[in-house]
Structures are given as C-alpha cells and as structure tokens.
C-alpha cells in the first residue's frame, strides 16, 4: 500500500521512519517532508496547507492511506477532503479537530463531560480579561484559544504579569489570530505527563506514557517552546494512575465528542498535570505530540501502518501493541535564539557519526538541503533519540550523540529525563 504522509517536522520523520519498517508499505511519500523523511521515501513539494493539491496528488498516485501529522491541516479539513474522494485518511475531521484548534470548545466540552481541569474563564475582549485577572490573587495561566504551534501558553506567577500576557496575545497579536480569544486559568501544581491514545470513534488504545519538557531552559526555566525533549515511559504515571486517566479523562472525552456529533478518530493527546488531587487536563491535542512521538515510536515494536488502518476501519479492538521495555530519551537540538528570533542556513555536521551510536536515531525537524549540505531551517532542528536499558543509560547515549553534532548556535537542554532518573533512585 502506498502512503502519503503530510508534514515536515520531527514528528513526521519519526512516523516515516516507523512506517518504513512495515511489511505492508509500498511507496511512502511525504509532503513536504525534510531531509530525514527523504531517507524513508520520496518528498513531495506540497505545503501542508495546500489541501486541494494534497488531494489531487493522492488521487493521481492511487494513495491507499493518507496520514496527517500537524494540527493546522487537520483543523482546515484535509481529512474530510481526502475522504470525500474515497481516500482513507488517518486523523480527525475538522469538526473533531476543534478539540485542539479551539481551546474554548475544549474547555466547554470538558465541563459538560465532568472532566477535571483547571478553573478558567474565556474572554473575547482584552478589557474583560484584564479586569478578571486584576481581581485574582493567585498565579494564572493565559492561553491563546487558537492554534499557536504549542507556544500559546504563558504561565504567570504574578497576576500583574497575566495582564501583560493577555495584552501581548490579544492586542499585540504575538500569536496572530490564535489570540483573538483567550482563556485565563488557575495555575495547576504538580508534574506534567503526556498520554497519547489511538481512537477509532468508539475504541481507545492507550500508548506508553511520556513526559515533554516545554520551557527553554534547564530546570524548566524560561519561556515555553514547542518542546525541548521528551522521554518514555514517565515514572509519574503508574499503572493505577493510567487506569484512572483512561476512566476519568479519555473515555469521557471520547463519549463527549460522540454526544456532540463530532466523533473522534486518530491520535488523541491529553496533556495532564498530576496534582495532589489526581490527574487534571491541561490541554487536548488532536495529533501525535512533538517531541513525544520520537521516544514513543522508538519503543513501539508493532506495525504502525496496521494500527493506522485499524483506526480508519474502526477495528482498533482487533489490535495488540507490543512495546520495547527499554526507556527512550529524545533531546531536541535548537537554533540559537529559539523560541525567539533565530538564523537559518547553518551547516550541520556530525549527523552520520551520531547515527552510528548504538540504539540512537537522529530525527530531523527544522532542516533543509542546501547545495549538498544539510542546514538548519527551523527553531527546533533535530530530535536525537536513544534507547537504553535504564533511563540513565538512554539519556547518556542521547547526549553522547548530541555532542557529535555541530551547527553554529546549537542549543539544547542538558537535563532531559532528569526527573525520571531521580524517580528511579
């Protein structure tokens, strides 16, 4: 079966890498892809937002399955458009993608489904948001309601900073139209975890747990990014806690989507805070997380293409996933200046050497080909991912490979998976 994968980031390289291992795969196309996905199949110069061109390509090339990676084309209805012409597509419909594309929609659905989340208010006007935040004495979290590439959340320990955050989002439009509406929430305390599950509309298959590292600096200091690294599994998520998450979060939200007339199919991502009172939802995403996908798929032993088809055919209950019991750690190498302004076009060296380290895979994210060289083309450049018999060994192996790779201004956090190592001691 020939497959079209939509996207160009580290998540898509990880998906392409795993799909390429399937015995059922014919040819793999990635649109637009990156130098990493080019090693797994053929890149196609079509942007993720060019839905008509993606559909035309799929029809002309007899694509058996389309897999959509990023949230923007999902929210724009690419799955609907593909299915309208008879092409199977893995991912939620545009209506179901509101769960991520519209945080206000998600908040209201959580309330109606009795899912535990932070107390919060939704605002369309800055003046009303300002007045509400000014009345608060406790730390707040200000979120752009729309899609902001994982960066539209500002945590403010001082409510006065919350007013400035709302002004940046709603008035200065630092996240564009995603900030036309904001949500102001109470700050939750605890340890975060990412729970991803395959959903076929009625069946739910939970994947192994993971933990992302959003802030730019060691010790979770500084502004939020799209993710500076991740590891799997997350020790904070015990078997008992995973059962509770399934029972109190995943099942209710899937049921709620069905009641709402927006049935969910694809990957459902629950970003959770493990508080003293139990798991509480920070956000839902409607696709694989990035960089959580990298360590999760490194650990997946099953055929990913078979799982995708089972979701599309509503036969997820016939699937059993096998996992490598070894933990995996992904360290993101970023451009200097990220998540602010950064330069592109920096030559990357050492990729081949790093890739030869045992049980290491270097996933490309913000890279491009330029005159025969691989160069930087984004904020998050690479996701260096390693397996190890322990978290500590996986971490050491990942940083061993990181230290073999060079480009001008390269930056990475040096404490990815430190929480997991501490938990095991």
Q: Check whether residue 174 and residue 224 sit in a common domain.
A: no
Q: Check whether residue 167 and residue 211 sit in a common domain.
A: no
Do 120 and 183 meet the contact criterion of CB atoms below 8 Å apart? yes
Residue 347 is part of a domain; what is its CATH number?
3.90.600.10
Q: Check whether residue 7 and residue 34 sit in a common domain.
A: yes
Q: Helix, strand or coil for residue 270?
A: strand
pLDDT (tens digit, 9 = 90+) per residue, 152-163? 888 899 989 999
pLDDT (tens digit, 9 = 90+) per residue, 347-368? 999 999 999 999 999 999 999 9
Q: Check whether residue 264 and residue 159 sit in a common domain.
A: no
Whether 393 is covered by a domain: the verdict is yes
Q: Check whether residue 231 and residue 266 sit in a common domain.
A: yes
Q: Check whether residue 291 and residue 390 sit in a common domain.
A: no
CA-CA distance, 363 to 382, in Å (whole number)? 6
Whether 101 is covered by a domain: the verdict is no
CA-CA distance, 343 to 347, in Å (whole number)? 11
Whether 397 is covered by a domain: the verdict is yes
What b-and-e string marks burial along 399-411, b requiring 16 or more CB atoms within 10 Å of the CB?
A: bebbebbebeebb
Q: State residue 148's pLDDT score.
A: 78
Whether 100 is covered by a domain: the verdict is no
Write down the number of H helices and E strands in the chain.
15, 22
Whether 243 is covered by a domain: the verdict is yes
Q: State residue 153's pLDDT score.
A: 87
- The tally of domains found in the chain comes to 4
Is pTM, for the whole model, over 0.75?
yes
Q: Check whether residue 301 and residue 343 sit in a common domain.
A: no
Q: State residue 149's pLDDT score.
A: 72
Q: State residue 352's pLDDT score.
A: 96
CA-CA distance, 226 to 148, in Å (whole number)? 9
Whether 273 is covered by a domain: the verdict is yes
Q: Check whether residue 270 and residue 342 sit in a common domain.
A: no
418 DSSP β-pair partners: none
What b-and-e string marks burial along 22-46, b requiring 16 or more CB atoms within 10 Å of the CB?
A: beebeebbbbbbbbbbeebbebbeb
CA-CA distance, 172 to 122, in Å (whole number)? 18
Among 234, 104, 111, smallest CA distance to 178 is for: 104
The reply to whether omega before 339 is within 30° of 0 (cis) is yes
**In terms of residue numbers, what domain contains 168?**
125-180
Q: Check whether residue 51 and residue 135 sit in a common domain.
A: no
Residue 258 is part of a domain; what is its CATH number?
3.30.470.20
Q: State residue 152's pLDDT score.
A: 84
pLDDT (tens digit, 9 = 90+) per residue, 224-233? 899 999 999 9
Give the residue from 40, 72, 93 where a domain finishes.
Answer: 93
Give the residue from 93, 113, 133 where a domain finishes.
Answer: 93
Q: State residue 316's pLDDT score.
A: 97
Q: Check whether residue 234 and residue 314 sit in a common domain.
A: yes
Tokens encoding 209? 């747990």
Q: State residue 212's pLDDT score.
A: 95
Q: Check whether residue 385 and residue 297 sit in a common domain.
A: no
In this prediction, the residues of the chain whose per-residue pLDDT falls under 50 are none
Whether 117 is covered by a domain: the verdict is no
Q: Check whether residue 159 and residue 220 sit in a common domain.
A: no
Whether 115 is covered by a domain: the verdict is no
Q: State residue 103's pLDDT score.
A: 85
């Amino acid at each position: 079966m020939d497959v079209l994968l939509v996207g160009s980031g580290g998540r898509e390289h990880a998906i392409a890498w795993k799909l390429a291992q399937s015995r059922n795969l014919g040819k793999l196309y990635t649109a637009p892809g990156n130098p990493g996905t080019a090693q797994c199949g053929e890149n196609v110069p079509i942007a993720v937002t060019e839905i008509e061109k993606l559909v035309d390509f799929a029809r002309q090339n007899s694509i058996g399955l389309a897999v959509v990676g990023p949230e923007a084309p999902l929210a724009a209805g690419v799955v609907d458009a593909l299915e309208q012409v008879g092409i199977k597509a893995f991912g939620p419909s545009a209506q179901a993608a509101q769960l991520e594309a519209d945080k206000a929609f998600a908040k209201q659905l959580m309330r109606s489904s009795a899912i535990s989340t932070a107390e919060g208010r939704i605002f369309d006007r800055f003046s009303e948001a300002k007045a509400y935040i000014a009345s608060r004495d406790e730390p707040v979290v200000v979120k752009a309601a729309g899609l902001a590439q994982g960066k539209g959340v500002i945590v403010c320990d001082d409510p006065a900073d919350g007013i400035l955050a709302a002004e940046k989002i709603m008035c200065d439009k630092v996240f564009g139209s995603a900030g036309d509406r904001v949500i102001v929430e109470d700050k939750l305390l605890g340890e975060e975890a990412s729970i991803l599950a395959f959903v076929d509309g009625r069946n739910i298959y939970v994947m192994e747990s993971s933990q992302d590292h959003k802030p730019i600096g060691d010790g979770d200091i500084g502004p939020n990014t799209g993710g500076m690294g991740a590891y799997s599994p997350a020790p904070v998520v015990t078997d008992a806690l995973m059962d509770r998450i399934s029972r109190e979060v995943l099942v209710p939200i899937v049921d709620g989507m069905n009641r709402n007339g927006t049935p969910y199919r694809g990957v459902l991502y629950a970003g959770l805070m493990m508080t003293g009172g139990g798991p509480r939802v920070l956000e839902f995403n409607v696709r694989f997380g990035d960089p959580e996908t990298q360590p999760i798929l490194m650990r997946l032993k099953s055929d990913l293409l078979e799982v995708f088809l089972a979701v599309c055919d509503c036969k997820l209950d016939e699937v059993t996933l096998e996992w490598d019991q070894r933990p995996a750690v992904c360290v993101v190498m970023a451009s200097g200046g990220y998540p602010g302004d950064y330069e592109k076009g920096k030559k990357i060296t050492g990729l081949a050497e790093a890739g030869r380290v045992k049980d290491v895979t270097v996933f490309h994210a913000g890279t491009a080909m330029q005159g025969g060289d691989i160069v930087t083309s984004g904020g998050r450049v690479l996701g260096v991912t390693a397996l190890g018999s322990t978290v500590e060994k996986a971490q050491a192996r990942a940083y061993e490979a990181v230290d073999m790779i060079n480009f001008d201004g390269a930056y990475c956090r040096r404490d990815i998976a430190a929480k997991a190592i501490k938990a095991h001691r």
